[in-house]
Amino acid sequence: MGTLYLVRHGQASFGTDDYDRLSPLGIQQCRALGEWMSRRGLGFDTVIRGSLRRHVQSLEAIAAQLPDLPAAIEWPGLNEYNSEALVQSVAVEPLPPPGQDPAAARQHFRLLRDGLRRWMAGETAPDGMPSWQAFSEGVASALKLASEQSEGHVLLVSSGGPISTAIGQVLGLPSTGVIELNLRLRNSALSEMVISRGRLALLSFNTLPHLDAAERHDWVTYA
């Protein structure tokens, strides 16, 4: 029996011109996760990640604490959807950048929820994005690869959308359930699946054991 460890990337650069890079806190979050894995004596036989910069940077920060980590398999099917395209697909007027304005950020995530719902239902085709079916198939292909490693530990580094989709596939959730999982995933959060005879079963979801210390409570972020 093996275990699949799914890790959402560290805090990225929400509200800036380039979201796809970790913030300094995002790097700290992932280094702390790597330290926790090292203290636990966790070793990995297979590593899979998306090809986005925030995936690469998150894995680098984790790997700094795990010197024997094998080379990663890059899997584009683990790349995130385009949140801005989803928001624009349902917005009725131009929107200001969310930046650090709480009201603008709340509006962004309300529209994102609606954009996800309509994309998953096939009601919209956001610019430059695959269909929901094609996105789901890319995630399923990564899970198939992971499920073949039935005797070891697999580390998978991706984003909230693919990870929530993967969990939804394993649990048989409707798309509305996947959206709820997606919008609650925290940065650098760890979810686990048991691998047994080519099948996957959810063991834990959205945990932050590496941020449990009181002095790290303000390290918990969502975007």
* Cα–Cα distance for residue pair 15/183, rounded to 1 Å: 17
Share of the chain above pLDDT 70, in %: 96
Q: H helices then E strands: how many in the chain?
A: 7, 6
Strands 153-158 and 190-196 turn out to be unpaired
* Beta partners for residue 195, in sequence order: 2, 200
- What local confidence, expressed as pLDDT, does residue 96 receive? 64
Q: How confident is the prediction for the chain on average, in pLDDT? A: 94
pLDDT tens for 40-61 read: 999 999 999 999 999 999 999 9
The Cβ of residue 76 has, within 10 Å, a number of other Cβ atoms equal to 11
- What local confidence, expressed as pLDDT, does residue 168 receive? 98
Tokens read off for 122: 């096939």
Domains of the chain: 2-80+150-212 (3.40.50.1240)
pLDDT band at 176 (very low <50, low <70, confident <90, very high): very high
pLDDT tens for 127-162 read: 999 999 999 999 999 999 999 987 899 999 999 999
Is residue 105's pLDDT more than 90?
no
